[in-house]
Chain A
Amino acid sequence: DAGVIQSPRHEVTEMGQEVTLRCKPISGHNSLFWYRQTMMRGLELLIYFNNNVPIDDSGMPEDRFSAKMPNASFSTLKIQPSEPRDSAVYFCASSFGAGSTEAFFGQGTRLTVV
């Protein structure tokens, strides 16, 4: 298994532009998480899905952030319009089961908004 796959690995964009981050979870996993990591705030949960349904999006910072999971093998996190303070590493993770298994992380997307 290739693990959780994220793309792009790095993204540099200008303030005001739309950014779309992509994630392919491990096949068979039914939970998917989007996290954001910064030096100041650590690893923050933005949103998580179970069986493609958003369960908790209370961590999404603003309306500029949106996430979708159209099917079990694909999810996107979109920021529109992007701002410099959105610069961070965004991780996607997936897991399976009813609360007794670990989550596996992708390699992350390093976003820089200038």
Chain B
Amino acid sequence: EDKVVQSPLSLVVHEGDTVTLNCSYEVTNFRSLLWYKQEKKAPTFLFMLTSSGIEKKSGRLSSILDKKELFSILNITATQTGDSAIYLCANRGNTGFQKLVFGTGTRLLVSP
């Protein structure tokens, strides 16, 4: 059964800190790994990773995938209070029908 494990479960940092969120996965036939940010409502898409070692970057956020070790990290530099959210990692694999399996998420709180 496909599985996604995220760590830490929660994290509190000060504004300006850099954080690294972890996602490890088990999947039968890997297709892609996705990161989402969830504030008060619906998860919103951040990154999709399909190849090892290629960093995806958007502003202060970046992410990279290691398909050999079956994990991904999400980095946030110079954190701001607006980065406070739940960060979700999802894995797509096993079938061609886009089934996404999510981890339980990392709850990040950035204090001023």
Contact = CB atoms under 8 A, between A and B. Distances in A.
Interface residues of A, number: 28
A12 interface: no
Given A43-B88, A108-B42, A103 B31 contact: no
Contact of B43 (A41, A50, A95, A105): A105
17 contacts: A33-B99, A42-B104, A45-B99, A48-B98, A48-B99, A50-B97, A50-B98, A99-B92, A100-B48, A101-B48, A101-B98, A103-B34, A103-B45, A103-B100, A105-B36, A106-B42, A107-B42
A56 interface: yes
A102 B45 contact: yes
Interface string B72-100: 00000000000000001000100111111
A70 interface: no
Nearest to A35: B102
Interface residues of B, number: 24
The 4 closest A-B CB pairs, nearest first, are A42-B104, A105-B42, A43-B102, A102-B45
Contact of A99 (B36, B96, B101, B104): B96
Given A99-B31, A106-B42, A107-B42, A42 B103 contact: yes
